Amino acid sequence: MGAIVVMVCRNRAKGQAAQAEIKAESSNDQVDLIIADLSLLSEVRRAASSFKQKYTQLHVLIHNAGTINGERKVTPDGLEDTFATNYLAPFLLTELLLDVLKASAPARIVNVSSSGHTTGNIDFEDLQGVHRYSFMKAYTQSKLAQIYFTYELAAQLKGSGVTVNALHPGLVSSDFNKGTKGLAHFIGEVVYFFRGITVEKGAQTTLYVATSLEVEGVSGKYFSQSKETPSSKLSYDLAIRQRLWQVSEELIQQNELSHLLAENR
C-alpha cells in the first residue's frame, strides 16, 4: 500500500532479515526497524522514544508481539513474562504513543488477541502467577486482558478519531509453540499440523482491521475471520475492565518509580 512501516523486533538479526525480505517482496524501501524487547517496560519506553524522535505521524498501531512459556519466567521488572509481553507492553506503548495517534487522526489501534481469551480469567489475587502457575492460565489471562484493554480504551477515546479493536488471527502455524514443553508441546504441534493455517492467512484479519474501509470509524469490537463477532461473556464485565485498567496503571507507575530510585542511587 506504499505506507511507511516501522517494525519493532526483539532479535536484531531476525529483524533485519525480515526487513530486507519485506523490502524486496513489496518493492517498498520505507520499512524501518526498531530493536526492543517488549517484555521489558524500559525497552517499551525506549521504543516509543525512538519512534517519536523520527516520526510525527502514526495512523496504525498494531500490537502483535506475544509469548507463551511452559514454565514461569520473571522479567527483570519482576513481572511474569507472559503478562508483561502480551498485555502490559501494549498497554504502555499505546499510552506513550497516544498523543501522536490523536494528532494523526483518523488512526487505528489493533490488538492481536486470541480465541483463547474465552477460557481466560483475570486473577487479581495472583496476576503474576506466583502462587499457582499454568502456562495456559497465564496465556488466556493475558489475552482476556487485551480484550478488556481494547474495550476500555475505545470508551475513553470515543470522539477522538482514534479507534481500537481486537481480533483472533486464527490458529497460525508458526514457531509460537516453542515456548511450551513436554506433552503440552507435543499436543500443540499435532493441533497446529492438522488445523493450523499459514502465517499469510493468519495475517488477513489483522490487515482487515488495520486497513479496511469497512472498519473505518468502528471501535471497541472483536473480530475473527475478518468479521465482527462477540467476545466472551466475561469480557464485557465493566467492573473487571475498570479494575484491571487501574491495576495496570499502578504497575507501570511502580515500575517507573523503581527505575528513578535506581538511577538516583
DSSP result, 103-160: HT-SEEEEEE--GGGGG----TTSTT-SSS--HHHHHHHHHHHHHHHHHHHHHHTTTT
Collapsing DSSP states into helix, strand and coil, what is residue 85?
Answer: helix
Give pLDDT tens digits for 75-92.
999 999 999 999 999 999
The pLDDT confidence band at residue 261, using thresholds 50, 70 and 90, is confident
* pLDDT at residue number 101: 98
Angstrom distance (rounded) from CA 199 to CA 169: 9
Q: Is the pLDDT of residue 186 over 80?
A: no
Model confidence over 22-65: pLDDT tens digits?
A: 999 999 999 999 999 999 999 999 999 999 999 999 999 999 99
The one catalytic residue in 139, 148, 151, 222 is 139
Portion of the chain with pLDDT greater than 90, in percent: 82
* CA–CA dist 99, 76 (Å, integer): 28
Determine the residue type at 188. Answer: G
| CATH fold of the domain at 32-259 | Rossmann fold (3.40.50)
Which grid cell sits at 58?
502514526
User: Rounded to whole angstroms, how far apart are CA atoms 154 and 150?
Assistant: 6
Residues 113 and 143: beta-carbon distance below 8 Å: yes
To the query of whether residue 208 is one of the catalytic residues in this protein, the response is: no
Q: Binning pLDDT at 50, 70 and 90, where does residue 260 land? A: confident
Mean pLDDT, the chain, whole residue set: 91
Q: What is the pLDDT of residues 91-142, one digit of tens each?
A: 999 999 999 999 999 999 999 999 999 999 999 999 999 999 999 999 999 9
